[in-house]
Structure 1
Amino acid sequence: METRGWLFDLYPLGNRVVLWFITPEGRALRLEEDFPYTIYLGGAASRVRQVLQTLRARGWVSRYYPSRGLELASGKEIPVVALEPKTYGHLSRLRSWLGKLQGQVEVFNADLDVSAYYLYRRDLWPCTWYDLEVQEGRLLALAPREEQFARDFDPPPLTTLGLSLTRDPLIPLGAGNSLAITWEDRTLELEVRDRTGLVKEVARWLKKANPDLVLSDWGDEEIVPLLWHWSKESHLPLPLDREPGVVSRKFSGGRTYFSYGRIVYQGQAAPFFGRWHVDRKNSFFFREADLPGLMQIARLGQLPLQQAARASPGTLITSMQLARAVKDSILIPWRKADPERFKSAGELLTGDKGGLVFMPPIGLFFEVAELDFSSMYPTIMSRHNLSPETVNCRCCGEAEGYGGERAEGRGPSPHNSVPETGYRLCRRREGLVPRTLKPILKLREALKGAAREAGPEAAARYHQRQNALKWMLVTCFGYLGYKNARFGRIEAHEAVTAFGRDKLLTAKEICETAGFQVLHALTDCLWIKKEGMTEAELQVLCQEISAVTGVRMALEGVYRWLVFLPSRQNPARPVATRYFGVFRDGTLKVRGLLCRRRDTPPLVRRAQEALLTCLAAAATPEELAALKPELLKLSEGFRQRLREGGIPPGELVVTRVLSRTPAEFKVDTATALAVRQLAQAGISLRPGEKVRYVHREGKNGAPECRIRAAPFLEDLEDYDTRFYLNLLERAFAEIFTAVYGNHQGGNG
């Protein structure tokens, strides 16, 4: 039978892959397909034979056969042995045993996710319409009706059921918290009088609505695991899945890890089988790009949507690289063994410098233009063929007598060298990373262009999709230098920043030659000014920079006025990332102020934003000066509200990220006191999770009275007025001192 279907979900079950399609009529269609998971072994033939004999004796593999694949580093085809585990259930034992043979045999493609590997091998992508050939529930053949990188795609209508909590998520369900169900624009609050009754009611709604998508707040961490546990405890069915077979579901809790100098907590996943469950609070991409963005990254990353929703941008870009490698028959090393080569102190000082920065002068400036390189680092990687296997590559090195590195007394030829570092770039083959990035860059430009031409509703969807791609492109550079990244290598990372410094310096020189004063430069941006400059003149300047550097330079806008702020610790020292200003169209751009910090209380954030909004109406020095009395009046209004009391507690909440376990706190900081309050109430937090609280008394008060943790704010009537007035004064001082040169505080 032939039909059409939109690839909705897939997962391994038993020894097959289950696929769910949505038909044009809106029906959910379940199909199965056999998919042998293939691992490759390389190395000494005698040792590989011994390994295969052991695996056959243990009954872990169904078959093995000779094959060939491309080695990433050299690009050469090498002989390998392909082996197929007997079932997916044998994969964990097989991986564990092969992992002990490190250094004895080479293992490739061993730890790829089964669903993703299926999509890579079949060259398929989710959230796409396919022509299907099916027979008795089996998928015989399929062909996509859309391009993977299509600018436009048309998903079917999806039915959605909402799940959320009625109170703070730290208050457990059934211990003061209730469940809210949203369906067809109606919300029903379910009180937890007894666990059995709640499970039955949720099951009734799932059967009645049979939603394609369950969209939750705190579903992964707080709602689904508890409902599932109660259903098993009471032996009641809970139809979270459409899958009729038996599925394994385990909840092991989230994880804490260290990333870019921050402690991060990632919540556990609670996916459904045959329908989607997306937790808005546990999905970075949903927060940034909504459902259209999730569909976009699932298509490009070739991952099931629920998996993509909970993935980091780095995981998505890595998945694209893995898909590219599988498509090109490149063998994917299981455990990368490519250490950074030794560098002298001089080489490190030359090459490992990061982005170029010209510090700005402190003060207020009028008529300043901001120029931005568009997707600078990804474009450099794509244009200059920067990839782990192309920097100081083996093939060109052998041909030119370098032996993989620079030979003594010889440097690379200028047309394939990296500025400053002297690294060579491959001229024989295009790298894996550029091949991955080029279609993303092209699609993002197409989406941005479509958003400019479309109506408001369609433009919003285009913007959501291009925003999802932006985060993938931002991450691809960082992953190039990440030691544990599949396709990372520090020399490639250094090469990108070297090209970036060279291009920014070139852009600066072009601007100065054209008579512009460069006030500030930061990695991929320039702030310039010239008396009487016009937008047409700036566009011509951008075109010249684009032509010379090979990276598109765009005019971000012209500021009516712009303030560069000093360091908080040293008023005489400029800071590259602290500035605010207003463009000619009245749009504000703010960086490095209190209102941009995640831990700033909402009241203080709104107060500073109110002053900035007022200032946005001014265009000249005279207009700015005339606004000062109004700003002073606004400021005093916020102070007076604080002094009078009655501020809702939610407006005063300070949010911090927990950096350690409760037992590791040695000093009675506000965060430590809040964590202890929560622990006394039976609520435990892990490092990386957020702790929220309100300051009640100053440091002279009893420790237990100084703060109130966020779940217990409903009856809070008092707060530490002086603490919040001091925060307000900091927020006001950032504005007044920058614009008017002084600030007369009102905290008496």
Structure 2
Amino acid sequence: MLEGCEGEILVELEKAVRNFDPDFILIPNSKFAVNYVSERAKANGLKLSLSRGLAVEGRWVDFNGRVVLDLRCFEEFGLAGIAELCNYSMLPPELAVGWPVGRLVDSRQCYEAIRRNVLLPVARSPSTAFRSLSEFHMADKGGLTFNPKVGVYENVCQLDFDSQYPNIIVKHNISYETVIDVGSVLREPRGFLAEITEYWLNRRLHFKRLAKTLPEGNLKIYAYQRQKALKAVLVVVYGYSGCSWNRFANVKCFEEINRISRKILIDALNVAEEEGFEVIYADVDSIYVHKAGAKLEDYEELRNLIVDETGLPMSIENWFKFIAFLPQQTNSGLSATKRYFGKLMSGELCFKGIEARRYDYPEYVKEVQLRMMETLFDAEDLSEVASNVDRVLGVLAKAVKALIEKRVPVEKLVVYKALHKDPREYSSMFPHVSAALQLMQHGYEVEVGDLIGYIHVRSRSKNQLTRVQAAQLVTGYYDAEKYIEMLVEAAETILSPLKIDKAQVRATLVGLR
């Protein structure tokens, strides 16, 4: 911890970097932080040399010879994963983690094209598919999804096709030059995209196997980081195949991948139903199946039958003791896709698309929602799950009381949201825009892409600029009612599969406020 006046702290920072001599410097919200340090160095008349060797002229803060990365990127992929992104894209670390993944794919494709003496097209591919609306609708149906029925289920197994889209590309020789039309693909010669994808797919699967089989330790962690980074790239290869920003793009290539994917999912569902399994939910490359009394061996046998039928590898991704599927937020009469929570047979919680996964909900709300989830699933069967509703509401009541009594640290109430353009260009005063403008008024430099943290302080104020306060400017005060409303929403998510809505949740809090 560095202490002193601002100028002294900056000088001590320079000394600390020189003494530690790090290769990598990891900074939360790095763009914002580097710009801020540069502004403060300039204001104090200091030129900070945080570099190795010669400083770069014209900069108030110089990191020459060191790699500066955003802490969140490092936490997501780790050093081994970042190295894998560099290896794939042929780019230095700052660009490999800073560029959109589509640009990494473009970098690799350009390198591979040059290796093969293929002339590079212009950076953006002109549209080559002029069709009527009905023709477009028939050709581009996207992935196939079967909505679940809202409710709580037990003994459900999630079966996932391993890297389905990359495997389709490799197995069916999908490439920009091989897809003549939807349903018509050249088998020879080997396609440009298929050949590139095959190497990186095999590499990803190699590290995925190592991550599962290696003993606990650094090697296991590194293998996991590498496969995770390659997964992020391979997922984008599919979507990028028909994108107009792809210099090699062929939209029929994208549509053919989707057509094959839909057929594979239907084949998988047919096999499951023929074997007596109930399909609870299916989403593009995943199916969630149930059979009364089924054991892990039964689900493994089903997986093997589906692999034999489709020719694509498949894994048991999760085996749920309980899983809850939610209604749509805009229409409670319809079920939502990609939005569920559950408890695995191992005892771990598994969830997707709910508040605990979102950046725009504060840490405190997420922690309380996880406690409510644990409480609901502290059961042996579905009847016990239903009987835990009062206990869940008890968790909510304690959390609400802590907010009212101002016992919640303000740091746990920060909400984050990214800026997608200059704050002055927004036509509406969203909370994060208001916070960004506050920071600018206090001398902070704010850039597009920055994660802006803020606290709700006066949510009902007529002046939109005073409804929130930027996290860097907090005084300790917060609007308890606003955060209580967030907790109510989080509780409704947990209880809605049991037909309990927000009004019923609010009714249990009468007398606390």
Instruction: State the TM-score, normalized to the length of structure 1.
Output: 0.62
1:626-637 mapped onto 2 (5 Å cutoff): 626-637=387-398
1:509 maps to amino acid? N
Given candidates 428, 443, 462, the residue that maps to 2:203 is 443
1:737 shift after superposition: 2.8
Aligned to 2:322, the other structure's residue is in SS state strand
Residues 1:314 and 2:74 are matched in the alignment: no
Are 2:240 and 1:479 aligned?
yes
CA distance in 2, matches of 1:337, 1:633: 57
Paired residues of 2:326 and 2:336 also in contact (CA < 8 A): yes
Structure 1 match to 2:120 = 332
Alpha-carbon deviation of 1:592?
2.3
Partner of 1:180: none
Corresponding residue number in structure 2 for 1:189: 2
Give the aligned residue type for 2:374.
T
TM-fit CA distance, 1:233: 10
User: In 2, distance between residues paired with 1:711 and 1:698?
Assistant: 18
- Consecutive unaligned residues of structure 1, counting only runs of 5 or more, are 1-187, 252-268, 393-404, 406-420
Contact 2:84 2:226 in 1 (8 A): yes
Counterpart for residue 238 of structure 1: 49
Aligned match of 1:107: none
Q: Which amino acid aligns with 1:214?
A: I
Q: Secondary structure at the match of 2:2?
A: strand
Name the residue aligned to 2:159. Answer: 371
The question of whether the paired residues in 1 share the 8 Å contact of 2:242 and 2:251 is answered with yes
**Shift in Å, 1:220:** 4.7
* 1:303 partnered with 2:91: yes
Alignment pair present for 1:529 and 2:342: no
In the alignment, the residues of structure 2 paired with residue 491 and residue 463 of structure 1 have an alpha-carbon distance, to the nearest angstrom, of 34
Higher strand share goes to which structure?
1
CA apart distance, 1:468: 0.9
**Could you tell me how far apart the structure 2 residues matched to 1:320 and 1:232 are?**
42
CA distance in 2 between counterparts of 1:659 and 1:217 reads 18
- Which residue of the partner structure matches residue 624 of structure 1? 385
Q: Which amino acid aligns with 1:555?
A: I
Q: CA deviation at 1:364?
A: 1.7
Quote how far apart the aligned CAs of 1:665 are.
Answer: 4.7
1:290 pairs with one of 78, 83, 96: 78
**Structure-2 change in CA distance of 1:347 and 1:203 (3 Å):** same
Kindly state the Cα deviation for residue 529 of structure 1 after the two structures are TM-superposed: 1.5
1:712-731 Cα shifts (integer Å, max 9, x gaps)? 11x323x2222222221111
Cα deviations by residue, 1:68-125 (Å, 9 ceiling, x for unpaired): xxxxxxxxxxxxxxxxxxxxxxxxxxxxxxxxxxxxxxxxxxxxxxxxxxxxxxxxxx
- The answer to whether the 8 A contact 2:364-2:413 is kept is yes
Structure 2 vs 1, CA of residues 704 and 520 (structure 1 numbering), >3 Å: closer, same or farther? closer
Matching of residues 609-688 of structure 1 within 5 Å: 609-665=370-426, 669-683=430-444, 685-688=446-449
> What letter is aligned with 1:531?
A
1:642–1:344 CA distance, 2 compared to 1 (3 A)? same
Query: Would the aligned equivalents of 1:559 and 1:584 in 2 still touch at CA under 8 Å?
Result: yes
Cα 1:565/1:295, change in 2 over 3 Å: same
Q: Conserved in 2, the CA contact under 8 Å of 1:225 and 1:270? A: no
Which digits, 9 at most, give the CA deviation of each residue in 1:496-534, with x for residues without a partner? 111111111111111111121212111111111122322
Give the corresponding residue for 1:696: 457
Change (3 A) 1:471 1:624: same
Mapped contact 2:29–2:450 kept (Cα < 8 A)? no
Q: Which amino acid aligns with 1:699?
A: R
Match of 2:301 in 1: 540
Secondary structure at 1:471 match in 2: helix
* Cα drift, residue 646 of structure 1: 3.3
Equivalent residue letter for 1:240: S
- Report what 2:366 is aligned to: 605
Task: From the CA coordinates, give the structure whose radius of gyration is larger.
Answer: 1
**For the residues of structure 2 that align with 1:733 and 1:219, how far apart are their CA atoms?**
36
1:322 Cα offset (Å): 2.3
Q: Secondary structure at the match of 1:730?
A: helix
Report the CA distance between 1:360 and its aligned residue: 1.2
Moved more, 689-698 or 366-375: 689-698
Which of 344, 352, 361 aligns to 1:583? It is 344
C-alpha root-mean-square deviation of aligned residues, in Å?
3.0
CA distance in 1, matches of 2:440, 2:50: 34
Output the CA distance in 1 between the equivalents of 2:433 and 2:40: 31
Q: Is the 8 A contact 2:363 2:414 kept in 1?
A: yes
Which aligned pairs between 1:125-136 and structure 2 lie closer than 5 A?
none
From 434, 438, 441, give the equivalent of 2:194. Answer: 434
Q: Give, in whole Å, the separation in 2 of the partners of 1:581 and 1:374.
A: 22
> What's 2:481 paired with?
722
2:70 counterpart residue number: 280
CA contact (8 A) 1:294 1:309 kept: yes
**2:25 matched residue in structure 1:** 214
Deviation of 1:335 after TM superposition, in Å, equals 4.1
Q: Is the 8 A contact 2:400 2:484 kept in 1?
A: yes
Matched, 1:735 2:497: no
Higher relative contact order (CA 8 A, sep 6+): 2
Q: Note if contact 1:231-1:238 (Cα within 8 Å) is conserved in structure 2.
A: no
Q: Distance in 2 between matches of 1:680 and 1:238?
A: 28
> Pairwise mapping of residues 31-42 of structure 1 onto structure 2 (< 5 A)?
none
Q: Secondary structure at the match of 2:179?
A: coil
- CA distance in 1 between counterparts of 2:311 and 2:413 reads 49
**Distance apart, 1:535 and its partner CA:** 1.8
Cα distance in structure 1, aligned partners of 2:266 and 2:244? 29
Native 8 Å contact 1:373 1:553 kept in 2: yes
User: Cα 1:603–1:212, aligned 2, differ >3 Å: closer, same or farther?
Assistant: closer
Contact 1:292 1:465 in 2 (8 A): yes
Aligned partner of residue 52 in structure 2, secondary structure: coil
- Corresponding position of 2:509: 747
Match of 1:517 among 278, 282, 289: 278
* Partner AA of 1:563 in structure 2: A
- Letter of the 1:316 partner, please give it: L
Please list, as runs of the form range in 1=range in 2, the aligned pairs for 1:489-500 lying within 5 A after superposition.
489-500=250-261
How many residues align? The count is: 506
Q: In 2, Cα distance between the equivalents of 1:688 and 1:306?
A: 15
Kindly tell me: are residues 669 and 379 of structure 1, through their superposed partners in 2, closer, same or farther at Cα, counting changes over 3 Å? closer
Could you tell me how far 1:338 is from its partner in structure 2? 4.5
| CA contact 1:224–1:270 (8 Å) conserved in 2 | no
Deviation at 1:323, TM superposition (A): 2.5
Shift of 1:221: 4.3
Q: Supply the distance in 2 between the matched residues of 1:320 and 1:513 (Cα, whole angstroms).
A: 43
Contact 1:190/1:198 (<8 A) preserved: no
SS at match of 1:214: strand
Shift of 1:388: 1.1
2:84, 2:145 → 1: CA distance?
A: 34
Q: Which has the higher helix share?
A: 2
1:389-408 alignment runs, 5 A limit: 389-392=177-180
Cα distance, 1:247 vs. partner? Answer: 6.0
Amino acid at match of 2:296: E
- Residue 23 of structure 2 aligns with an amino acid whose one-letter code is D
- In the alignment, the residues of structure 2 paired with residue 229 and residue 723 of structure 1 have an alpha-carbon distance, to the nearest angstrom, of 34
User: Is the contact between residue 161 and residue 313 of structure 2 (CA under 8 Å) also seen in structure 1?
Assistant: yes
Q: SS at the partner of 2:224?
A: helix
Does residue 574 (structure 1) correspond to residue 335 (structure 2)? The answer is yes
For the 8 Å contact 1:270–1:277, the answer to whether it is kept is no
- How far residue 434 of structure 1 moved from its aligned partner, in angstroms, is 1.2
Where in structure 2 are the equivalents of 1:345-356 lying within 5 Å? Answer: 345-356=133-144
Q: Please state whether the residue corresponding to 2:187 is helix, strand or coil.
A: coil
Consecutive unaligned residues of structure 2, counting only runs of 5 or more, are none
